[in-house]
Structure 1
Amino acid sequence: MSGTLIETFNWWAVERADVPALVVGDEQVSYAQLRAWSEAAAEWLVDQGVERGDRVGVMAGNSLLWVVLSQAAMLAGAILAPVNPRFTFSEASYLLVDRYRAKAIFHDDERAELVGKIGDQIPGARVFDLAELARLRHTPPRGRLATDDIPLDTELVIIPTSGSTGRPKGVVLSHRTMSGYVADSCLARPGAFSAARILLFAPLCTSAGYVVLMQYLAYGGTVFLEQAFDAERALDTIVTQRISTMMGTPIFFERMAACEGFRDADLSSLYYCLVGGARVSRQLLETWLEKGVLLRQLYGQTEVGGQATFNTDQASITHPEKCGRGSIYTRVAVIDERGEFCPPNTPGQIVIKGPGTMVRYWDDPEATAATVVDGWVRTGDLGVLDEQGLLTMLDRIKDIIISGGLNISAAEVERVISEYPGVHEVAVIAAHDDNFGETPLAIIHGPQAGDIPELLQHCSTHLSSYKVPRYMVCTAEPLPRLATGKIAKPQLREQYADAHLRLPRIR
């Protein structure tokens, strides 16, 4: 694919003019309506002083207006800079102020005060309510917006991701990256994207939200966008709206399967279901297979555009622990500590090379150079390939906890806890959680059990609520260490494998 996403969406605005592009609750917009509304919003952005290359921040929950803003920024040649709406002031300001220097920042009602304070820290920045865009819904565009000269390598979006450093990094994706990702996925799975009707509930500030949204709009599909996941509502939407595509972590499929109406639900429309973030259990696989739905394991991360592999139909049944192989133009390999490619069945670091890989980390050339080597993205995850090239992900070298589909950097939580007076050392690992799959567990050397309430308050001040540990253990003994001097997290994971059963839940 050699065109920008703008050209793709222009095509569908004519070809599928009256087909719903987005359905959000009781509202829906067709492809032609979305194009006209977005163009009017883009012209308004330019009138407000937004220029090409400026960062347009947004801190808001999933909504129709969020999508319109994303399209408007694209048409204006600006770079969308979303942040998680659940971020605290310190988390959000680090990205929007210290890193991106956003020119304009949009918010919803719930985040108005917080975003206003952030905007005050950026000279020349302007803060807007997303509701400003609602009044442009029926405003005819003036037709003065020139988009034909927007180059294919124009940077499109900065998606924040947490890694081993404990601070979010901004993954930059361009029109070329996104267009290549869209084409590669489509060619690798013919039939999966024709007139797709996708149920999307991932936060739009993540690759699982934004990239998937752009992907299915680029296919001319209909996106049913939810503000958050609700098992009963999701099941009802699948049945009544004849959803064909859905993706998420195993916990979401487990919660739907636990619904009272699951047994009698007509799920025959579901054609393409992808599951990532954790292994699919045999029990979960068989539960959905009994309903005629195959759950296909995937592997990916924001730095490679989102999804990098998906399991084959047969291997999804016989080997659900495997993540499949890359697409037609996406290569997957495993390297050793010297950077040499490993033979089959030899564990090593997973590396990815393909059209969907990131352009760079925003304003971080050192991290970019360390991550993208000879065109290969070094994922930081441990895996192994078999003789057929099927990938099995073995461990998260980057130490990421996935809670309800959201990534939590253990290092970030550790950094915040270590700033509390009296903490000598801390290790954060994943504990099982019935609702979210995983949740943070902090093992802390220094403070006493009586300090836990204040520790929690400290964490809540500097971390989003989903990052705050639900379990804390204060120990007078130093934490175990490996021969390298690092804290022995494998030992701690084994020691606290049943923490959810024997430790009190503190929040």
Structure 2
Amino acid sequence: MAATVGSALSWWARTKGGQPAVHVGNDTTTYGELAHWSSRLARRLAESGVAPGDRVGLLSPNAIQWPAAALAVIKSGAVLVPLNSRLKPAEIRKVADDAGITLVIAHPSHRESAERAAALGQPFAVLDFDVVDRLRVGAPDDFSVERPADDPIAVIFTSGSTGLSKGVILTTQTLLNIVLENTLTEDGFRPGSVALLVLPLAFTPGLVYGLLMTTVLGGSLIVEPELNPSRAVTLIEQHGVQALFGVPVIFESLSRATEFETADLSSLQTAIVGGAAVPVDLLHRWAAKGVMLRQIYGMTEAGGVATATLKSEALDHPDSCGSGSIFTEVRVMHEDGTLAGPGEQGEIVVRGPLVTPGYWNDPAATAEAIRDGWLHSGDIGTSDAEGRVKFVDRKKDLIISGGINISPVELETVIGKLPGVAEVAVIAVADERWGETPAAIITAAEGALDQSAVIAHCEEQLSDYKVPRYVVLRDDPLPRLPSGKLDKPAIRDEYRDVAARFSKAR
């Protein structure tokens, strides 16, 4: 059998079939059960007309059926398209059209959404989870269709933090490259590791670093239906969790749980955090528990994690994302294609075996993103003399006020340190005089702070031109993507008329 996810699953089923492979909530499936369950479903898909290379969507919140269905799609020779369970029918339709989906496997809670999406354009079939459930029990089966290592096994649509979603191709070869690179260093993943996932399975952290990484390495994956900080801390201790990954708000939430102070977290060997700036005090809070949080820089197009801070440098370089990896280069490049020197700003670029072959059915976007072997991230960064990369901001998030660039991340970091601020997003607002000006959208408890306190704090920390002219205080949490990142497009849309609705704070 070729080197595939299916062959890895078959090996672990033969050698340790009784070991738990995936836990979701209070349900567990072993390697033996998962291997046969996914093969029976893969055979069912093939018999129903799913052909190698067909795109099959999977629409479901975190559930025990999700891993079985995902692996079955891959085993059938089809291409898995994980669908965000929060998508509306029109959004599902857009992904279905972009990917050319012919079938969607839908959780009962999402079947109606799938059927409504199918009715909005070129029809696609909808397969209910009832079929998945029935095939959990049955005769042993090893059905699997082998495909070349460079053929796609999944198309992962980016979270759309910049407002544009594209389908990133994942091949077997790329996946195996990701696994290899993430297991070769002493700070990386290990065969047989227990990992905890408190993010959706349907995105890169859940699918690649959760399900597929665990399957190839023969580990155990604990999946939570939703983030419950107290329960998560308890699970780490109970199961001896060795790997945990997510955005800063996850590690922040766990560190504020009552159980955190007394919990034994010594089992955690790989704790990676990214997607937003990581407060230094959060690094120290976990370090006091013997856990060094490794800040990452990554994107779906670069395998999820292109670089991560070494444990030995985590506290000494709290704003660094590391300096690449064994086979992967992460550099800063000027617009003319020359590499930037230490301290010089430029675009973060990535080159190596983790980089996607391209975007699904979009050669123009592929050619724009991957040039001369370098993946152009669209992110602005700097590097120091030792090559450690620091993320500054996204190009498209920059606010250009009077011809001067203002980084929303810088403002968010400063405002986030103000007592009473639960979360903050800084966006651009049209301004007759300056072209654009910053607006700070802040979630805070009622009465915890006022506009004047925010302005005074910013004036102490920032140059005058960076201080936001609009400060909007709200009680509700800011919208977030399933990955945990702030949903900047949604925030911009909600406050697109901020100048008309709110008075300037200064």
Aligned to 1:105: 104
Whether the 8 Å contact between 2:333 and 2:339 is mirrored in structure 1 is yes
Report the Cα distance in structure 1 between the residues aligned to 2:417 and 2:86, rounded to whole angstroms. 22
Gaps of 5+ in 2: 399-407, 409-414, 432-440, 445-462, 481-506
Report the Cα distance in structure 1 between the residues aligned to 2:309 and 2:479, rounded to whole angstroms. 38
| Superposed displacement of residue 190, structure 1 | 6.2
| Superposed displacement of residue 439, structure 1 | 6.0
1:6-155 alignment, distance < 5 Å: 6-96=6-96, 98-123=97-122, 125-141=124-140, 143=142, 147=144, 149-155=146-152
1:190-205 alignment, distance < 5 Å: 192-205=189-202
| Superposed displacement of residue 376, structure 1 | 1.4
Aligned to 1:343: 341
| Superposed displacement of residue 393, structure 1 | 0.8
| Superposed displacement of residue 442, structure 1 | 6.4
SS at match of 2:23: strand
Aligned to 2:231: 233
Whether the 8 Å contact between 1:251 and 1:437 is mirrored in structure 2 is no
Gaps of 5+ in 1: 401-409, 411-429, 447-467, 472-489
Q: 1:445 to 1:354 in 2, by over 3 A?
A: closer
TM norm structure 1? 0.79
Aligned to 2:315: 317
SS at match of 1:103: strand
- C-alpha deviations, 1:214-233, integer Å up to 9, x for none? 11221111100111211111
Whether the 8 Å contact between 1:105 and 1:119 is mirrored in structure 2 is no
Q: 1:149 to 1:439 in 2, by over 3 A?
A: same
| Superposed displacement of residue 136, structure 1 | 0.4
TM norm structure 2? 0.79
Q: 1:395 to 1:274 in 2, by over 3 A?
A: same
Output the aligned Cα RMSD: 3.2
- C-alpha deviations, 1:105-156, integer Å up to 9, x for none? 122122121111112245452111123201101112555xx64641111201
Whether the 8 Å contact between 1:325 and 1:332 is mirrored in structure 2 is yes
Report the Cα distance in structure 2 between the residues aligned to 1:28 and 1:502, rounded to whole angstroms. 38
Report the Cα distance in structure 1 between the residues aligned to 2:73 and 2:176, rounded to whole angstroms. 17
- C-alpha deviations, 1:206-249, integer Å up to 9, x for none? 11111112112211111001112111111111121211110111
SS at match of 1:57: strand
| Superposed displacement of residue 195, structure 1 | 2.3
After superposing the two structures, state which structure 1 stretch, 437-446 or 63-72, moved more.
Answer: 437-446
SS at match of 1:382: strand
- C-alpha deviations, 1:28-52, integer Å up to 9, x for none? 1111211111000100111211111
SS at match of 1:306: coil
- C-alpha deviations, 1:63-94, integer Å up to 9, x for none? 11111111001111101112211112222211
Q: 1:492 to 1:442 in 2, by over 3 A?
A: farther
Aligned to 2:497: none
Aligned to 2:448: none
SS at match of 1:360: coil
Report the Cα distance in structure 1 between the residues aligned to 2:466 and 2:102, rounded to whole angstroms. 44
SS at match of 1:90: helix
Report the Cα distance in structure 2 between the residues aligned to 1:26 and 1:502, rounded to whole angstroms. 33
Which residue, 242, 245, 257 being the options, matches 2:243? 245
Aligned to 1:266: 264
| Superposed displacement of residue 306, structure 1 | 0.4
Aligned to 1:332: 330
Segments of 4+ moved more than 3 angstroms: 121-124, 146-149, 162-165, 189-192, 430-446, 468-471, 490-494, 496-507
After superposing the two structures, state which structure 1 stretch, 163-172 or 55-64, moved more.
Answer: 163-172
Which residue, 291, 294, 299 being the options, matches 1:293? 291
Report the Cα distance in structure 1 between the residues aligned to 2:364 and 2:55, rounded to whole angstroms. 21
What is the identity, as a one-letter code, of the residue corresponding to 1:154?
A: D
